Amino acid sequence: MTSPTPLIAGNWKMNGVAASLAEAQAVAAGIENSKARVAICPPATLVARAAAALGGGKVLVGGQDCRAETSGAFTGDIAAEMLADAGASLVILGHSERRAGYGETDEVVAAKVGAALRAGLEPIVCVGETLAEREAGDALSVVTGQVRGSLPAELAGKAFCVAYEPVWAIGTGLTPTTPQIEEVHIAIRAALVEAFGDHGKSVAILYGGSVKPSNAAEILAAAEVGGALVGGASLKAQDFLGIINAI
């Protein structure tokens, strides 16, 4: 069994202009022999400039979404090939903000995963339950169902990550307990092994949802946690480095 290589990825969401690239460069300069791969996913307007500013060094660049099609009359959308052409090497797919705000189903997410693979991008596929689903006792069934529905068979043998982000913890300051995180990550691992055999054992499972320097070490030490998908705390180099260097 190959141990998953941890990944700490920053999701800037709809934040950042050219001046913000100084924070990304400060992250690259401040990494201290991290055991993890590090990525920053800026808005699409900054992907090419981030790739140029970071120069293929310690910090990878990713996109925040892509369209399943290669091209066409889809005003405002971005193809996976466009992200790759701009210098991205990863892409976040199926984030709860896309699922809830744009009606993305598991089937839509799976099609986007296929597009990412087609373009040579590593998908970071997000899953997670709402507060109502957790309170109803459905967290594990919801999350494992999303894993099965959002990860197409063509991922077998390919590089990808799964990010568990409880919807109720994103941007709220609320964080599940360590046992709650471990329970879901262990269930995700079982679903990955069921779907992909031994390859499923080497897929990093990231945790996301109000990750910050003060709680990063405890979260990253939890069973089956192979990194973090970080929102607001990734916008400032000092905060993001506190998470990166906690692993």
Domain ranges for the chain: 1-31+42-159
Instruction: List, for residues 203-230, the tens digit of each pLDDT value.
Output: 999 999 999 999 999 999 999 999 999 9
Catalytic entry in 81, 122, 133, 165: 165
User: How many residues are listed for the chain in this entry?
Assistant: 247
Structure confidence at residue 1 as a pLDDT band (50, 70, 90): very low
Residue 165 a catalytic site member = yes
Q: Percent of the chain scored above 70 by pLDDT?
A: 99
Sequence letter at residue 124: I
What's the mean pLDDT in 173-185? 93
Phi/psi of residue 15, nearest 5 degrees: -140, 145
| 232 annotated ligand binder | yes
Q: Is CATH 1.10.4080.10 correct for 1-31+42-159?
A: no
**CA gap 98, 92 in Å, rounded:** 10
**CA gap 6, 205 in Å, rounded:** 8
Other CB atoms within 10 Å distance of the CB of residue 212: 18
Instruction: List, for residues 183-199, the tens digit of each pLDDT value.
Output: 999 999 999 999 999 99
Q: 91: helix, coil or strand?
A: strand
User: Is a pLDDT exceeding 90 seen at residue 3?
Assistant: no
User: Is a pLDDT exceeding 90 seen at residue 34?
Assistant: no
- Determine if the pTM surpasses 0.85: yes
Residue 95 a catalytic site member = yes
Round the average pLDDT of the chain to a whole number and report it. 96
Catalytic entry in 23, 81, 95, 129: 95
| 245 annotated ligand binder | no
User: Is a pLDDT exceeding 90 seen at residue 237?
Assistant: yes
Instruction: List, for residues 105-147, the tens digit of each pLDDT value.
Output: 999 999 999 999 999 999 999 999 999 999 999 999 999 999 9
pLDDT of amino acid 2: 54
